[in-house]
Structure formats: structure tokens, C-alpha cells
A and B are shown apart, each in its own frame.
Chain A
Amino acid sequence: MTTNAAERGVRGAHRAEDSFKWGLYVAAILVVVLLVAMLLTLLTSSIPSLRHLGARFIYGTTWDPVASEFGALPFLVGTLATSFLALLISIPFSLAISIFLGEYFREGPLSSFLKSAIDLLAGIPSVIYGFWGLFVLVPLVRALEMKLGVAPYGVGVLTASLVLTIMIIPYSASLSREVIQMVPRDLKEAGLSLGATRFEVIRKVILPYARSGIFAGALLALGRAIGETMAVTMVIGNSNLLPKSIFSPANTMASVIANEFAEASESIQVASLIEVALLLFVVTTIINLIGRQIIKRVSFE
């Protein structure tokens, strides 16, 4: 009897073990299925727009729900303009922070202060950046526009880029810092022992060595800027026309979805907006995967 009970116990344990393993597999497969299903949903939901518009979706410059005309070029331009401008402005700042934390002040109160400040900056929700931008940056940009003699909207590509700049600095800075910290000590010491100044070591040894990691950081920051929605929506002015200058109001791919999706009534408009989302998904995914691939290669070295 006792052996039977023990056997039954062992068999029960086996069964529990099997179902446990099975559960783990199910969880892992579900994650893959989730992503595939998301992509399929976007694809099938945008079929009406793909059929109706074809390539006009990419090069068409009029987005007019009333006339059922959906050319997304203004939003493509708006997205590229805001995110590249933001990246351009952020590069000196994030590079400075990463050199500050990765080379000059690697430890101590100064560096831990700056590190916590960057964490804070990364943690502030995007809607709050938008809110602050609306009440602080917009008047500033409007004053600038009045001085320059252009139409003083206040909102527009430049304002959105400035808000994005603040938001993406923490991302590229923390990644660049990590690669700058990984530069081997002996390389730097070899440079210093040859009589190079610290600046020369940074310029000729550290930056070339960390180049690809810094590039990956910039790519990931760009991916974030492209997908950023709320802060941009609140300060970009929401105009569906092709932006003429950096002071014009515009729309990005993400902001047009945020503005129009809830009110979209016609199915073709919904489908076109979902096609914008699909495009956004594809672009950010490609940028992210390239960035991550570079990081993986760098950290293996």
C-alpha cells in the first residue's frame, strides 16, 4: 500500500511538472502570438485604405476626410522634421552628459546627482511635457517668431522639436554613457602616457572607440521621438498641410492619429489612420531593431 501511495505521489509530481513546463511554453508562445496578431490586425484593418489609395497614400499631400482623400505625406514630413531636428539639437547635450558621467565624473555626489536627474527626466509622463510646453515653450517661441517677423503661431514644428529634445536626451545620454564607460582603461592610459591631454584622449581614443554605441543610442532616441504622441500633439498646432518652415503648424503620424481617430466616422478614414499606424509600427520597429543589434555587437566585444 505504501509503495502504491508513493508511486502515485511520484506520478502526481510528474504530472504537475509537465503541466508547469507546459504553462511556461504557453506563456512564451502567447507573447509571440500577441505580436504577430498585432501586426496582422494592423494589416487587415488598413486593407480598405491600401486598396483605395495605393501609393497615393505615401506621396499625396492632401489629407481631406470630407473629400475622402488621404495623402499622408504632410505627416511623414512632419514626423521626420520634428524627430530629426530634435535629434540634432539633443546630440551636443546628450554627448556632453555621457562624457561628464562616463569620463570626467564617474563617481561621487556630482555624478549621482546628474544620474538621478536624468532618471527623473525620463520618468516624467509625456502628457506633462506637453502641458508644460503649451504653457511655457509656446509663448517663448511666439515671442521669437514676433521678433523674426514670421506668423506668430507659437505652436509648430520647432516647438514640438524642442519638447522632443528634452524628452529624448535621457535615452541617448544613458546609452552613450555606458559605451563610453566600457572603453578599456589601457587605451586611455596609453594616450595619456604619450602626453595627450584629456580632451585629445576623448577626441582621438574614446569617441572613435564608442562611435557605434553612440550611434545606436541616437537611433533609439530617434525611434522614441518618431513614436512620441501626446507631447507633440499638444504643441504642434495640428495642421494637415505640408509644413513650409520650422515655424509652421504641422502634424506628425502619431499626432494625427491622436487627433482624428476618436472622431473618424467613415470607415475609409479609420482605415487610413490605421495605415498610418502600420507605417509608424514598421518604421519604429526597424529603427529599434537596428539600434539593438548594434548594441548587442558592441557589448559582445
Chain B
Amino acid sequence: MKADGGRFERQLGGQVAGDRVWPRIVADRAFKGGVILLSVLSMVPLFLILAYIIKNGAAAINWRFLTNLPKPVGDIGGGISNALVGTGILIVIACAIAIPLGVGTGIFLSEYRKAKLSYAVRLCADVLQGIPSIVIGIIAYAWLVLRAGGFSALSGGVALGIMMLPVVIKCTEETLKLVPDTLREASLALGVPYHRTVLKVILPAGIGGIMTGVLIGVARIAGETAPLLFTAFGSPFMAYDIMKPISSLPLIIFNYATSPYPEWHSLAWGASFVLVVLVLGLNVFAKVVTRRWKVQF
């Protein structure tokens, strides 16, 4: 019967024949099962890490832990108060650099979308975002530590500010692009000068997105260790002077975790717990801000 020697059926790979349907259905189910299995499996480390931090970290946390200074090995009751203050100071310095520069650049990019400079700046922001944090640490070292003659909070803050900058630029630009032109035109038509239109109409309309950018940027730098290794360096004392070395949460986690003393390990777990709560809290807060103050007209 098969005039062409069954070639037509072979070409279809037997896909029309009833007896070949089952293997295909089985393959389909197996694939879906595999996708679900692998997806679930890749979440296992996350829960292991979180469980570990909660189990070991929550136990280490009490009022003394948060308010005491670190103590030498053997002394019980060391705390992380200087690291908390240090992280705060470093974040403030980073924000002082990244927010004005980042928001200004973001406004420029959304106002002069097609300018040649804008393409160059976007490229630079992309490149900045991809530079490994340790390289940024080396640059801050060359710029500030070598010149000022020592490790300092300022150099660490500058390194973190450079890391935060591209995030703020991107978020500001993306948000301001969403503000409708009609708003700007209405303001200009009323005779409001251009700079007041930007500052009093466009910026307030996009303030939610800019805040999100700042929060995400702070979350990105709060846990950074590598750029601080040879800039802020770390310090066992309470330090407020920005020209002196300063401690920070990720730095003490690194120092305590790689030490051979079990009691320091438990301090490191406690500090990890605080850091994870801080970083994830910032991320959640950023999401809430996005949802609340979305640009919508």
C-alpha cells in the first residue's frame, strides 16, 4: 500500500501514529517534573543558609551584643556596637556622594535622552555597575589611602559611593522617563522656569522611584566587604573620625569567621544575622516604596 515505501511516515517521525504518542507524553511530563525538581533544588541552599543564620545568629543576639565593643579572645560579652556605627557612617558617606551625583546624572539622562553625552554616560554607568568590588577598593586605596597616609572611613565611604552610583543613576533615569510630558508642558505653559519645573514638578512625581534606587543601592553596599579591606580596614574601637580606620558589619563577619576561635564564630553568626536582617529589610522596604509611590497618571 505504501507507494513511497513509508517515507512520508518516517519523515513525520511517526508522530501521527497512535502508538508513538505515549513516549511523547511521558517525555513532556518528565520534563515538567524535572523543571520543577531543579527549581525546588536550587532553593535548598537559600533555606539552608537562612536556617543556619537564624539558628546560630539569633541565639547570639541580645542587648549587650548590640551595645558592647568587641573584646579580646577569652573575654565573654563582646559586641558589635562599633561595627553598627561604622556601617552607618560608611553608608552616610556613600550616600553623600552617590545621591547628588546619581540623581543629577539621572535627571540629565532623562532630560537629554538623545544627546551624545548621554550615550557615553549610559555606557559608563553600565561599565561601573560591572566592575568587581575589589577593583573599586584598590582605586579608592590609590586615591585616598596613599595620599592621606592611612586607612580611613572616608576612603571606604568613597569606594561604596562609587558602587552605589550606577544604581541611583539607572533608577532615577528609568523613573523620570515615566513622568508624562503633559505634566512638564503644563508647568512650562504656566510660565514656570525650566529648572523649577524639573525640581518642583518632575522630581516630586518620580520621588518614589528615586527613593527605591537609593534603598536598593544602600542594600547593595551595606553587605560589601571587598572594597573595605584596604580602605576602611576595620578597627576594634568606637570611631567617629572619618579620617581614621573604622569597623563595619561585613568586615567583622569576615575577620571573626576566618579566626580559629569558636566564640568569635558565634559573634560572626550574630553579626551575619543582623546584616541579613538589615539588607533584606532594605530590599523589602524598597519594594513597599515602589508599590506605594509608583509613577502613575
Q: Say yes or no for A47: interface residue by CB 8 A criterion.
A: no
Docked Cα-Cα span, A154 to B204, in Å, equals 54
- Asked if A197 and B27 make an inter-chain contact with CB atoms under 8 angstroms apart, the answer reads yes
CB distance from B258 to the nearest CB of A (A): 6
The stretch of A22-30, A60-68, A142-150, A240-248 that contacts the partner chain: A22-30
Q: Say yes or no for B114: interface residue by CB 8 A criterion.
A: no
- Asked if B250 and A125 make an inter-chain contact with CB atoms under 8 angstroms apart, the answer reads yes
Per DSSP, chain A at the interface is helix
Residues from chain B with Cβ under 8 Å of A127 in the complex: 223, 225, 250, 253-254, 257
Docked Cα-Cα span, A223 to B45, in Å, equals 22
- Asked if B134 and A254 make an inter-chain contact with CB atoms under 8 angstroms apart, the answer reads yes
Residues from chain B with Cβ under 8 Å of A198 in the complex: 28, 31-32
B107 nearest CB neighbor, chain A only: A24
Docked Cα-Cα span, A112 to B11, in Å, equals 42
- Asked if B258 and A234 make an inter-chain contact with CB atoms under 8 angstroms apart, the answer reads yes
Q: Say yes or no for B201: interface residue by CB 8 A criterion.
A: no
Docked Cα-Cα span, A277 to B118, in Å, equals 28
- Asked if B132 and A229 make an inter-chain contact with CB atoms under 8 angstroms apart, the answer reads yes
Contact among B105, B257, B272 with A28 in the assembled complex (CB-CB below 8 Å):
B105
| A199-B32 in contact given A13-B193, A125-B225, A261-B230 (Cβ < 8 Å) | yes
Residues from chain B with Cβ under 8 Å of A289 in the complex: 123, 126-127, 130
Docked Cα-Cα span, A132 to B136, in Å, equals 25
Residues from chain B with Cβ under 8 Å of A136 in the complex: 48, 52
- Asked if A96 and B38 make an inter-chain contact with CB atoms under 8 angstroms apart, the answer reads yes
Q: In the complex, which residues 142-171 of chain B have their Cβ closer than 8 Å to any Cβ of chain A? A: 142-143, 162, 165, 169
Q: Say yes or no for B121: interface residue by CB 8 A criterion.
A: yes
Docked Cα-Cα span, A105 to B150, in Å, equals 54
| A230-B38 in contact given A31-B169, A126-B225 (Cβ < 8 Å) | no
| A99-B35 in contact given A120-B280, A227-B132, A234-B254 (Cβ < 8 Å) | yes
A169 nearest CB neighbor, chain B only: B42
Q: In the complex, which residues 98-122 of chain B have their Cβ closer than 8 Å to any Cβ of chain A? A: 100-101, 104-105, 107-109, 111-112, 117-118, 120-121
A293 nearest CB neighbor, chain B only: B126
Docked Cα-Cα span, A21 to B276, in Å, equals 41
Docked Cα-Cα span, A37 to B264, in Å, equals 40
- Asked if A42 and B135 make an inter-chain contact with CB atoms under 8 angstroms apart, the answer reads yes
Contact among A13, A27, A92, A287 with B104 in the assembled complex (CB-CB below 8 Å):
A27
CB distance from A149 to the nearest CB of B (A): 27
Q: Interface 1/0s, chain A 184-226, versus B by CB < 8 A?
A: 0000000000010111101000000000000000000001001
Per DSSP, chain B at the interface is helix
Q: In the complex, which residues 79-110 of chain B have their Cβ closer than 8 Å to any Cβ of chain A? A: 100-101, 104-105, 107-109
CB distance from A8 to the nearest CB of B (A): 14
Q: Say yes or no for B43: interface residue by CB 8 A criterion.
A: yes
Q: Interface 1/0s, chain A 105-131, versus B by CB < 8 A?
A: 000000000100101110111111111
- Asked if B43 and A124 make an inter-chain contact with CB atoms under 8 angstroms apart, the answer reads no
| A284-B131 in contact given A25-B108, A123-B219, A199-B31 (Cβ < 8 Å) | yes
Q: Say yes or no for B182: interface residue by CB 8 A criterion.
A: no
Docked Cα-Cα span, A29 to B156, in Å, equals 23
- Asked if A280 and B257 make an inter-chain contact with CB atoms under 8 angstroms apart, the answer reads no
- Asked if B39 and A16 make an inter-chain contact with CB atoms under 8 angstroms apart, the answer reads no
Identify the A interface with B (CB < 8 A): 13-14, 16-17, 20-21, 23-32, 34-35, 38, 41-42, 45, 92-94, 96-97, 99-100, 104, 114, 117, 119-121, 123-132, 134-136, 166, 169, 173, 195, 197-200, 202, 223, 226-230, 234, 254, 257-258, 261-262, 273-274, 277, 280-281, 284-285, 287-289, 292
Q: Which 3 A-B pairs have the closest CB atoms?
A: A125-B223, A227-B132, A27-B104
Query: Can you give 26 contacting A-B residue pairs, CB < 8 Å?
Result: A25-B108, A27-B107, A28-B104, A29-B117, A31-B121, A31-B125, A35-B124, A35-B127, A38-B162, A45-B142, A92-B38, A97-B38, A114-B43, A124-B276, A124-B279, A126-B223, A131-B269, A135-B265, A136-B48, A136-B52, A166-B46, A173-B42, A199-B27, A223-B130, A288-B130, A289-B123
Identify the B interface with A (CB < 8 A): 15, 24-25, 27-28, 31-32, 34-39, 41-43, 45-46, 48-50, 52-53, 100-101, 104-105, 107-109, 111-112, 117-118, 120-121, 123-136, 138-139, 141-143, 162, 165, 169, 193-195, 198-199, 219, 222-226, 229-230, 233, 250, 253-254, 257-258, 265, 268-269, 272, 275-276, 279-280, 283
